[in-house]
């Protein structure tokens, strides 16, 4: 008799244990917040390794806890995860997330104890919601000023600085019983393309890439239980495939050279770097064969996840994907679930609610404090929210008005059809009041440079502020999280 005749078969015609193992290798997103849809219930019941939540799944804290409880009622060891980097990248604003300023501001302050306090607050909040895995912190180094995606999500360009803050973040998160995940291996900071929008390539030679591995090496040494791969091609490492799909990078470099034995999870497969070049289903199969343990299908349409699942099962049936590889991956996921799937039973309260604003203030004031400009007209120029990330509605004008009720302002979130009329209207509304012009990543968005310069010609006394990376302003927030902007507003208002 064959092995199949001796073994109970799952719904896909594979041995039940192999069907369950294949499902362990998937992390799924979904639409809705009030209940778990039936297709997701089936996936969880068959062994789904993880569920990733987004803003679309969040209404308030009580609703999130009901949702995570419902998921675990179906299968107690399903991991519930979320992107939770702090700063302007987060999905839990409506659920009362702690305000922390994001990694770059923390790197500017360079106080690992303060970073640990911020990470502890984020992790404690997750524990109270029943979310037990955070796809953070970012370990990418910010090499290029024209990199469109890492920017203030990074701790900085110095690998030793990034390493000490990664250790602080991971250790604090682990102490709360929450799984952390350093990303995006082996680094996304040397590219000029956002992998959400297309295939990113890092053209640097082999010897230049070693510096990017140091933060990941520090994360591994700190016991990080998960790493996330980058959809980036490194010709010096593997000229044919992005890291997510590369056996050389995931196997030889990560497993052998860095000695990582935790769960390696892919970045989301619907990102265009994978979806447009390979397709999500082929991406899932190739990533798992290359050494990934889990693949994320974050899109809300569960049909895409089912298509990826079916491609993996078909590859197992035909022998294209080795059973041993899936069982190895599923084994790592089971170990992760054994440590983190059940929310901590200790009281998650008691985090330091002031850590985030302290960090933001210290970052903003690190280069000195200019004279206050009370009653100013604030022009806030910033790009439209990134479609693949989250914007919680934070804006400089709201924070400025809270700090100085006499302030007025104009927000501009994209290139306008008639910039001359816009400038004329701003100057007229401002009148004799002080003018503040804030830009965010103006080097990537020339329309901001044009408006800023046109306003400076009309008002040479205008105060320049940067709300992304430093670009010559007298103040820099180092990010657009709520506390980043609040700290800038306080300085402008003289508080």
- Give the per-residue pLDDT at 1: 31
Q: Which residue has the higher pLDDT, 326 or 388?
A: 326
Report the interhelical angle of 302-318 vs 16-24 (nearest 10°).
Answer: 130
Domain that holds residue 300: 3-340
Cβ partners under 8 Å of residue 242, min gap 6: 195, 199, 200, 230, 231, 232, 233, 273, 274
pTM of the model: 0.95
- Give the per-residue pLDDT at 348: 62
Cβ partners under 8 Å of residue 422, min gap 6: 412, 416, 451
C-alpha distances in Å from residue 75, one per residue of 36, 47, 237: 12, 8, 40
CATH at 413: 3.40.50.10090
Residues 332, 421 share a domain: no
Residues 414, 307 share a domain: no
- Give the per-residue pLDDT at 156: 97
Is the separation of the CB atoms in 251 and 185 below 8 Å? no
Half-sphere exposure of 348 (CA within 13 A, CB side): 23
Answer whether residue 194 is part of any domain.
yes
- Give the per-residue pLDDT at 345: 67
Residues 336, 373 share a domain: no
Parallel, antiparallel, or unpaired for β 377-381 and 435-439? parallel
Q: Does residue 495 have a pLDDT over 80?
A: yes
Residues 445, 312 share a domain: no
Residues 405, 326 share a domain: no
Answer whether residue 351 is part of any domain.
no
Answer whether residue 270 is part of any domain.
yes
Mean pLDDT of the chain: 94
State both tokens at 346. Answer: 């200790």
Answer whether residue 346 is part of any domain.
no
Is 196 one of the annotated active-site residues of the chain?
A: yes
Beta bridge partner(s), residue 89 = 86
Beta bridge partner(s), residue 463 = 436
CA atoms 441, 445, 448, 449: torsion sign: positive
Rounded Cα gap, residues 137 and 139, in angstroms: 6
C-alpha distances in Å from residue 182, one per residue of 169, 177, 224, 360: 10, 16, 7, 22
- Give the per-residue pLDDT at 173: 97
Q: Which residue has the higher pLDDT, 344 or 379?
A: 379
Is the separation of the CB atoms in 458 and 425 below 8 Å? no
- Give the per-residue pLDDT at 349: 65
Residues 391, 336 share a domain: no
Q: What is the mean pLDDT of residues 214-235?
A: 98
Answer whether residue 353 is part of any domain.
no
Answer whether residue 126 is part of any domain.
yes
The Cβ of residue 279 has, within 10 Å, a number of other Cβ atoms equal to 16
- Catalytic-role residue among 23, 91, 184, 196: 196
CATH at 57: 3.20.20.300
Residues 310, 170 share a domain: yes
Answer whether residue 274 is part of any domain.
yes
Q: How confident is the model at residue 7 (pLDDT cuts 50, 70, 90)?
A: very low
Q: What is the mean pLDDT of residues 201-226?
A: 97
Query: Which residue, of 295, 322, 340, is where some domain finishes?
Result: 340
- What 3 state SS string does the chain have? CCHHHHCCECCCCCEHHHHHHHHHCEEECCCCCCCCCHHHHHHHHCCCCEEEECHHHCCCHHHHHHHHHHHHHHCCCCEEEECEEECCEECCHHHCCCCCCCHHHHHHHCCHHHHHHHHHHHHHHHHHHCCCEECCCECCCCCCCCCCCCHHHCCCCCHHHHHHHHHHHHHHHHHCCCECEEEEECCCCCCCCCCCCCCEECCCCHHHHHHHHHHHHHHHHCCCCEEEECCEEECCCEEEEEHHHCHHHHHHHHHHHCCCCCEEECCCCCCHHHHCCCCHHHHHHHHHHHCCCEEEECCCCHHHHHHHHHHHHHHHHHCCCCHHHHHHHHHHHHHHHHHHCCCCCCCCCCCCCCHHHHHHHHHHHHHCCCCCCCCCEEEEECCCCCCCCCCCCCCHHHHHHHHCCCCEEEEECCCCCCHHHHHHHHHHHHCCCCEEEEECCHHHCHHHHHHHHHHHHHCCCCEEEECCCCCCCCEECCCCCHHHHHHHHHHHCCC
Q: What is the mean pLDDT of residues 174-201?
A: 95
- Catalytic-role residue among 19, 267, 441, 466: 267
Residues 325, 375 share a domain: no
Is the separation of the CB atoms in 263 and 332 below 8 Å? yes
Is the separation of the CB atoms in 105 and 484 below 8 Å? yes
Residues 380, 244 share a domain: no
Is 466 one of the annotated active-site residues of the chain?
A: no
- Give the per-residue pLDDT at 341: 87
- Give the per-residue pLDDT at 489: 98
Give the pLDDT confidence of 103-152 residue by residue, as tens digits. Answer: 999 999 999 999 999 999 999 999 999 999 999 999 999 999 999 999 99
Residues 382, 243 share a domain: no
C-alpha distances in Å from residue 232, one per residue of 53, 203, 333: 24, 10, 24
Provide the domain count of the chain.
Answer: 2
Residues 313, 171 share a domain: yes
Residues 433, 329 share a domain: no
Is the separation of the CB atoms in 80 and 68 below 8 Å? yes
Among 67-71, 336-340, 387-391, 445-449, the minimum mean pLDDT is found in 387-391
Q: Does residue 290 have a pLDDT over 90?
A: yes
Q: How confident is the model at residue 5 (pLDDT cuts 50, 70, 90)?
A: very low
Answer whether residue 474 is part of any domain.
yes
């Amino acid at each position: 008799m064959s092995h199949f005749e001796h073994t109970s078969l799952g719904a896909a015609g594979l041995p039940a244990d192999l069907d369950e193992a294949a499902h362990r290798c998937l992390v799924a997103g979904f639409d809705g917040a009030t209940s778990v849809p039936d297709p997701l219930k089936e996936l969880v019941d068959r062994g789904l390794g993880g569920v990733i939540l987004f803003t679309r799944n969040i209404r308030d804290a009580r609703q999130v806890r009901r949702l995570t409880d419902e998921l675990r009622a179906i299968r107690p060891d399903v991991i519930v995860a979320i992107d939770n980097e702090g700063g302007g990248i987060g999905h839990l604003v409506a659920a009362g997330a702690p305000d922390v300023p994001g990694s770059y501001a923390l790197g500017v302050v360079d106080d690992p104890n303060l970073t640990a306090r911020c990470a502890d607050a984020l992790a404690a909040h997750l524990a109270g919601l029943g979310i037990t895995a955070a796809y953070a912190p970012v370990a990418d180094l910010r090499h290029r000023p024209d990199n469109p995606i890492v920017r203030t999500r990074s701790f900085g360009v110095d690998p030793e600085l990034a390493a000490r803050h990664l250790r602080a973040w991971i250790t604090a998160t682990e102490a709360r019983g929450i799984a952390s995940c350093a990303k995006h291996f082996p680094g996304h900071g040397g590219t000029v393309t956002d992998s959400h929008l297309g295939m990113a390539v890092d053209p640097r030679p082999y010897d230049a890439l070693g510096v990017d591995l140091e933060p990941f090496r520090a994360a591994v040494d700190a016991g990080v239980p998960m790493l996330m791969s980058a959809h980036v091609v490194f010709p010096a490492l593997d000229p044919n495939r992005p890291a997510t799909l590369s056996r050389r990078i995931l196997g030889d470099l990560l497993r052998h050279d860095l000695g990582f034995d935790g769960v390696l999870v892919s970045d989301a497969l619907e990102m265009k770097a994978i979806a447009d070049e390979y397709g999500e289903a082929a991406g899932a199969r190739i990533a798992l064969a290359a050494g990934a343990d889990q693949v994320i299908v974050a899109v809300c349409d569960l049909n895409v996840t089912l298509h990826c699942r079916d491609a993996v099962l078909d590859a197992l049936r035909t022998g294209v994907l080795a059973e041993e590889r899936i069982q190895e991956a599923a084994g790592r996921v089971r170990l992760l679930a054994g440590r983190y799937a059940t929310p901590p039973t200790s009281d998650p309260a008691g985090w330091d609610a002031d850590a985030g604003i302290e960090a933001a203030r210290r970052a903003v004031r690190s280069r000195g404090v200019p004279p206050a400009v009370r009653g100013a007209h604030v022009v806030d120029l910033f790009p439209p929210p990134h479609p693949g990330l989250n914007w919680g509605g934070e804006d400089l004008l709201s924070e400025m008005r809270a700090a100085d009720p006499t302030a007025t302002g104009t927000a501009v979130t994209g290139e306008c059809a008639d910039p001359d009329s816009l400038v004329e209207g701003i100057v007229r509304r401002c009148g004799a009041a002080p003018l503040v012009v804030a830009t965010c990543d103006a080097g990537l968005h020339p329309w901001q440079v044009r408006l800023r310069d046109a306003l400076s010609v009309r008002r040479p006394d205008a105060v320049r502020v940067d709300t992304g990376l430093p670009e010559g302003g007298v103040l820099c927030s180092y990010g657009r999280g709520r506390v980043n902007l609040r700290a800038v507003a306080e300085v402008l208002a003289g508080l």
